[in-house]
Structure 1
Amino acid sequence: MGLAVSGGPDSLALLVLAAIALPGEIAVMSVDHSLRKEAEAEVALVESVCAALNVPFTPAKVHVGGGNLQAKAREARYTALGDWAIEQSLGAVATAHHMDDAAETLLMRLARGSGLAGLAGVRAFAHVPGYEDVPLVRPLLDFRKAELECVVEACGITPVRDPSNEDSNFERVRVRRHIAEHEWLAPEALARSAQHLAEGWRALEWYAQIDWEEMVTREDTDDAGFRGAPQYRYFCNVPRAIQVETVCRIVSELGGRVTRSEAGVAADRLWRGENASLGGVLARPGVEKVAKVGVEMRVWRFSSEPPRAVH
């Protein structure tokens, strides 16, 4: 198992605990995002701890693009970790997200009006973003941050302190301070709610998979304007949340990209009997009889939009 270790107390605790629990079965990567001059020394600290624990170590240096700094850094970090996992044939990548992270993430996403997928938050099992064949595990979600700091202190290790964790320009820092200032916002309860939401999301994913297998068919036709163009027929008779997932998947199969919000708007139009265009895909509503049950159902047909005429 590969561990993402930054040199902070959370990830160093992950390293120490994993070295005890899985001796000889872990490797570590530490990523320098090229954002602070102290980063090289922090990577060197992780390397020294790995040497003391006899754990294989790989340093990585990435460059973060413009825009949302934290989001871009996260994207670059996961790309480095995903590539490393594939090159080293690792079984999974582990990060040190903990209970406080889960609580903060839930509040942040509630404030943004996120749907169930977003509110499910920091999940114990996922995939490295952009690498569907690389499992991502978060084994410390039952630990408070203070507990992890105690682990590192007990080992006599002095962790690094990222100044961005105290910078109130970042939303997460402001949310963290808000939780600390209000006792009724118990991180344990918030994290437990996030776990319940994650269970609900897994149930929705399971139902959406059944909807895909039983209610969606692919047909090769020239209906989209050129012979052999794929078309998907979707017999839709499920709650809106499932519709959104199935619409997203159909658009993806046709080579398009669409957000859940956009898919929801399209599903609403189709439900009202109106055409919808999204992600380069044209969707048209209708009603057809389902042969095997002998009843009429809504059917939505999806096909790639024909090329626009250029004059």
Structure 2
Amino acid sequence: MPDELSVQLGEAVARLIGRPVTNEDRFGLAVSGGADSMAMLALAHACWPGRIEAATVDHGLRPDAREEAQMVADWCAEHHVPHAILSPDRPISGSVQAEARAARYALLEAWRIERGLDWLLTAHHADDQFETVLLRLGRGSGVGGLAAVRARRGAILRPMLGMRRADLRDYCDAEDVPYVDDPSNADERFDRARLRRRLAGLDLIDLGRLNRSVEALAEADAALDWMTDEIVARHLRENGDALVLDRTDLPPAILRRLLLRMISSINENAEIPRGPTVDQALVQLFDGKAVSLGDCVVTGGGRWTIRRAPARKT
């Protein structure tokens, strides 16, 4: 199993970067201290000794987090892997999981750049992918959402999407790699934890085939983005303080993206609408009506015009 997982990790990274890994490649690893990321750390150390660094993000949300980060630091010190503990400069508030995730990736990307690392690896695996797809199905996500956990996004690589949670835990146990169980993973205030408990012990689907479906959805999502870019270049123009789209005889999937793109262009701080709100707006725009979305006003018909909504009088 250890050799098999090491080979699998190396092959997955080479596939994601589109070429064989060379001696020049340097990898940063996001390591929380859980079994998944500790397995990734040990496997990456076996694959690329001397060319990896690790970072652990402590959000200050749990009293045990600093001790867990120190466990990772101790393993790294023993194996001569540079390690950093990163913390946000302000407390997490609002939607705890969403804000913590955004802060975590911002910290990790800044660390990667500062350290001169080429790639950032995370330990998302096949079970994470399955859970994400089910959660997004339940929320009515479209193609982009159902593409779920992307195997690569810029310098971020997720090479373990073909591995199972149980295999990674077994690897840690067999190789005496320490790990901790994050209690938030079992906290049923969170949707993912509730879903995970209900899925425990069930083998409902071939996760390898699921990953292939997710990859196909990601390709479809990229194709829709490409087509949207083409339409923007050819048919979207500025007119004073407004944007005008002079072609609307397009599939709803493209028009939906165009509408969101126009809102972001007019008001980069707008809260972007999603799901049924956008679909209802499309129906009204097709009927030639005007709609308000994201602090913008859009007039419909044969061409669409969007501008910022007038400031509200107080």
For Structure 1 versus Structure 2, the TM-score category normalised by the shorter chain is 0.7 to 0.9
Q: Deviations over 1:93-147 (max 9, x none)?
A: 22100000000111111111122211111110125xxxxxxx3221110111122
- What is the one-letter code of the residue matched to 1:280? D
Counterpart of 1:235 in 2: which secondary structure? coil
Confirm or deny: 8 A CA contact 1:245 1:260 kept in the other structure. Answer: no
- What is the one-letter code of the residue matched to 1:179? L
Structure 2 stretches of 5 or more lacking a match?
1-26
Deviates more, 1:113-122 or 1:174-183: 174-183
- Name the counterpart of 2:307: 303
- Whether 1:14 and 2:28 are equivalent positions in the alignment is no
More strand by percentage: 1
- Mapping 1:207-218, distance limit 5 Å: 207-218=227-238
Alignment RMSD, CA only?
2.2
How many residues are aligned here? 284
TM-score (norm 2): 0.82
Quote the offset at 1:189 in angstroms: 4.1
- Name the counterpart of 2:128: 101
- Name the counterpart of 1:76: 103
Q: Distance in 1 between matches of 2:243 and 2:159?
A: 42
- Structure having the higher Rg: 1
Q: Distance in 1 between matches of 2:222 and 2:208?
A: 21
Q: Distance in 2 between matches of 1:301 and 1:69?
A: 37
Q: Distance in 1 between matches of 2:180 and 2:63?
A: 13
- Aligned with residue 266 of structure 1, among 281, 288, 308: 281
- What is the one-letter code of the residue matched to 1:91? D
Confirm or deny: 8 A CA contact 1:2 1:94 kept in the other structure. Answer: yes
Q: Distance in 1 between matches of 2:61 and 2:245?
A: 49
- What is the one-letter code of the residue matched to 1:26? I
- Name the counterpart of 1:90: 117
Q: Distance in 1 between matches of 2:165 and 2:223?
A: 29
Q: Distance in 1 between matches of 2:204 and 2:308?
A: 51
TM-score (norm 1): 0.82
Of all paired residues, the percent bearing the same amino acid is 37
Confirm or deny: 8 A CA contact 1:4 1:96 kept in the other structure. Answer: yes
Confirm or deny: 8 A CA contact 2:273 2:294 kept in the other structure. Answer: no
- Mapping 1:248-263, distance limit 5 Å: 248-256=260-268, 257=270, 258-261=272-275, 262-263=277-278
- Name the counterpart of 1:281: 296
Confirm or deny: 8 A CA contact 1:285 1:301 kept in the other structure. Answer: yes
- What is the one-letter code of the residue matched to 1:57? H
Q: Deviations over 1:234-288 (max 9, x none)?
A: 41221111111111111111124222334433222111111122222222224xx
Quote the offset at 1:148 in angstroms: 1.6
Alpha-carbon spacing, 1:162–1:307, altered in 2? closer, same or farther (3 Å): closer
- What is the one-letter code of the residue matched to 1:108? L
- Name the counterpart of 1:198: 218
Q: Distance in 1 between matches of 2:225 and 2:47?
A: 32
Q: Distance in 2 between matches of 1:39 and 1:278?
A: 41
